[in-house]
Chain A
Amino acid sequence: MDTILELRGVTKRFGSLVANREIDLTVKKGTIHAVVGENGAGKSTLMNIISGVHRLDDGEIFLEGKPVNFRSPTEASKAGIGMVHQEFMLFPELTILDNIMMGYERTGKLGLLDRRQVRAEVEELLRTYNFNIPLDELAREQPVAMLQQIEIVKILYRGANILIFDEPTSVLTPAGVEGLFRAMRFLVSKGKTILFITHKLKEVLQVADEITVLKEGAVVGHTTPAETSEEQMASMMVGRNVMLKANKLKKDRGRPILQVTDLQARNDNGIVKLKHVNLTVHAGEIVGIAGVAGSGQVELVQCLYGLRAPESGAILLDGDDITRASCREHRCKGIGLVPQDRMADGCNRAAPIWENCIMGYHIAHGFRSKWLIDRGEAETFAQRVVDEFSVKASSLNEPISSLSGGNVQKAIVGREFLQENKLLIMEDPTRGIDIGAIEFIWKKIEELAASGVAVLLVSQELNEVMEVSDRIEVIYDGQLYDGGLHGELTEAQIGLLMTGGVEDAAEK
């Protein structure tokens, strides 16, 4: 097989930080080449260099033997390199057709858009590659899997021969992942080349032809699925021998803290997202909720935390009815929340660390005075958060945005854990942070539950739910299904529940 893309000594710096260090990479035509590494290993930066988003500081790139140096994504695209970004680069308010042709329009008379011409070309592509996309609908009305297909068709329309997929599976259901892999293999069979970035090792073994492992911005190994295993890749990625395993502690299950009965709720568009949800979380118990994004997790958490008024049903906290209580009352009654979007909901990036650390604490648990904020007391508490959750910060007065993602998350988790809550709700508490921080947070969750706090863990990482939870519930289409106790069901069985295969799973 011919080499289509070759990188030699590619280096990229952001200020004093070296994101990519002398990377060599050879990609063969017609293969699926996986680039793996943990968060922050420099995978995305590398792909951004190849696709012209960033410019390299040192090194060379050869495309089909010829040296290239892209100054913009457009140049890369003209040379046949296209990227499906992790966050979709789409325009929700435009039709799918307009989305696909953006930047690469065809014009007819008077320089007006020739949508008919574009449509003919796109429909040809859809036929060739077996996609089924409604071109005249708005992008915002499409499910996630469809958005991803639009992205793929978009770069095919631009004439891409090398397709880069940046963490494409993180937003998909297990069935969606299967579909994507089928599409990837089909594309390769038609002569395209795929670069596949991921940190999910199972998927790599499943789909890749070649594997390159990155660590701290440098290549640490090159292998193929036949030669390696998950464990081996994991130790290459982290540099030590870790597999993410939660260390389960022995806990005493206490009285029921959270009792949800027959909860029903709609989302902002009036669609029913929760149907007759019943849920109980006991003191000293970690209940994990697994599910595909958009199954109603968001609405469930919003209802439990007073951010959304349920239509019917009741929520009891330690016997108290909190169905229609406000966020503030929730806080005061002892519910903490680690929100999913840590930058939008979890912290105020403009504010110093100490101000971020006392949010909630200032009303619910701390400060002797009803009106005043005691700076000393505030700083003591903030210092406790920083110390006990090993947040790497130079000063409490630094803005929290100066910390890395993992440290911000540790500060948020610390803030919620150190308040004397009865119930703690967590949404994707370890998303996008490095393995060290994940292990740390998992350990803290265990300790917290062991101390008698009820924990509700909502996560899109199935692995996380399975490892950390004492009891698993699966949410599908607004309903909860029993996912058994820790280790009771296999990943495949839970995966089936997540996609609505209730009967099949129940049989086993």
Chain B
Amino acid sequence: MRLKNKSELLLETLKYVLAFTAVAVIGAALISFQGAAPGEAYAAILQGICGSASAIGNTIRWITPCIFTGIAATVAFRSGVMNLGIEGQLYVGAFAATLVGLYAELPGWLLPLACLLAGSLSGLLFALIPAVIKLVFRIDEMITTLMLNYVALWVTEYFTKIVKGASANNNSKAMATPVIQESAELTTLVPRTNASTGIFIALLLVAVVFVIYRFTKVGYEMKQVGENLRFARVGGVRTTRMFISIFLLSGFIAGLCGAVEILGVYGKFTPSFANNIGWDGIMISMIAKNSPVGVALASMLWGALKAGALQMERVTSTNRLTVELIQAMFVLFVTIDYRRLWGKWKDRQPRKRTAGKGKEGGIC
């Protein structure tokens, strides 16, 4: 996002400050509604974000998947691919990584690498289904990816049960695969926390995507395809190939995220472990307006809030879902198109009613 001038920068900043304040106030109301003191709860959140070394570790732990899914969403949405199946692709990737981590016998760093590859490639393959359906049957990928999320959820649970064998009971909360081999795990950054080297993979990803968008022809084409597909096609962009590649790339990143979650945090696959982290990614990319650097920044906020929420739940009687609700509201406030709103309001001031909204200088 290129900011044109100071007033625009001001408007952007103002927007975030406003949204943040509004959300903080509503959050305070929600917290007192649950019988806790808002000040105390907010202090707990802050403490959970950076109050100690382990708090920082936890914050890093939560930032990592936010970046991955945020980038997965950005890559797709920026080119107009409505991949709402990041959650499902993540599960498939996580499960594949777990399998390799459990059974593959590979020396040294080859094992984690194989796990990561297995995860991301499975995510990619799972994304291939809606992509092909779109191309062959012209069915909107939005609805198919939504449905496939549920399919992924249940199928991975089924396979978990198979891996676990006869002793598995049907309660998905208690069900999990065995723990993966220790050599498959990613290195822990902060002792006794789940912060792993996964964050470096995530940041590397941000950098790569940034460079692609900023400096390469492919990145240029990806942007044009998203903003005006017909223009791009006439201009000589291979749009079909582009669509497939972007869909697969998005699935690849989502699968990678699943793998990193397993290798860096959980160590074993538990059904429905991800708790909407895929959806968080979509919200993050929307806040970040599909810019990779923006995703990194928004993820920091998101991950920090997640880490803080857990601490808040531990210390006060407030449910951590409060934070999830607050995050949803934050998205609502931030994605209001203030500039257009402002324009509309200004138009209305001197005289009532002008031309229809969003029309460009049409005199004739």
Contact = CB atoms under 8 A, between A and B. Distances in A.
Interface of A: 14, 17, 19, 39-45, 54-55, 57, 71, 305, 307, 326-328, 330-332, 337, 339, 344-351, 355, 358-360, 362-364, 367, 371-373, 397, 401, 404, 432
B355 interface: yes
Contacts, number: 101
Contact of B215 (A348, A360, A373): A373
Given A14-B361, A345-B231, A349-B360, A363 B351 contact: no
A367 B216 CA distance: 11
Contacts of B339: none
A158 B230 CA distance: 39
Nearest to A42: B363
Contacts of B317: none
Contacts of A71: 353
A363 B354 CA distance: 42
Nearest to A45: B363
A307 B233 contact: yes
**Which of B227, B238, B353, B364 has its CB near the most chain A CB atoms (within 10 A)?**
B364
Contacts of A330: 236
B203 interface: no
B224 interface: yes
A367 B220 contact: no
A350 B217 contact: no
Contacts of A404: 361
Given A307-B233, A327-B234, A373 B217 contact: yes
Given A348-B228, A360-B235, A360-B236, A367 B217 contact: yes
B229 to A, nearest CB: 10
A30 B213 CA distance: 62
Contacts of B353: 55, 71
Interface of B: 2, 4, 215-221, 223-224, 227-228, 230-238, 351-355, 360-361, 363-364
Contact of A371 (B218, B227, B238): B218
B2 A397 contact: yes
Contacts of A363: 217, 236-237
Nearest to B221: A362
Given A40-B363, A326-B238, A344-B231, A351 B217 contact: no
A359 B231 contact: yes
Contacts of B4: 397
A351 B223 contact: yes
A19 B355 CA distance: 12
Nearest to A339: B234
A339 B230 CA distance: 11
Contacts of A359: 224, 231-232, 235-236
Nearest to A404: B361
A19 B363 contact: yes
B233 A372 contact: no
6 contacts: A332-B236, A345-B234, A348-B227, A351-B228, A360-B236, A372-B217
Contacts of B360: 349, 401
A14 B69 CA distance: 44
Contacts of A43: 364
A293 B143 CA distance: 37
Given A55-B351, A332-B236, A372 B215 contact: yes
Counting chain B CB atoms within 10 Å of each CB, which of A19, A55, A372, A404 scores highest? A372
Given A17-B363, A19-B363, A39-B364, A57 B351 contact: yes
A348 B231 contact: yes
A373 B351 contact: no
Contacts of A362: 217, 220-221
A367 B197 CA distance: 38
Contacts of A401: 360
Contacts of A371: 216-218
A435 B232 CA distance: 29
B238 A328 contact: yes
Given A45-B364, A328-B236, 6 more contacts: A44-B363, A350-B228, A359-B232, A363-B217, A373-B215, A373-B220
A364 B236 contact: yes
A122 to B, nearest CB: 29
B228 A14 contact: no
Nearest to A344: B230
Contacts of B233: 307, 327
Contacts of B227: 348, 350-351
A45 B363 CA distance: 6
A57 B228 CA distance: 36
Nearest to B359: A14
Contacts of B221: 362
A29 B317 CA distance: 80
Contacts of B230: 344-345
A14 B354 contact: yes
Contacts of B232: 348, 359
A39 B362 CA distance: 11
A415 B234 CA distance: 13
Contacts of A355: 220, 223-224
A2 to B, nearest CB: 31
Contacts of B237: 327-328, 363
A361 to B, nearest CB: 9
B170 to A, nearest CB: 49
Contacts of B223: 351, 355
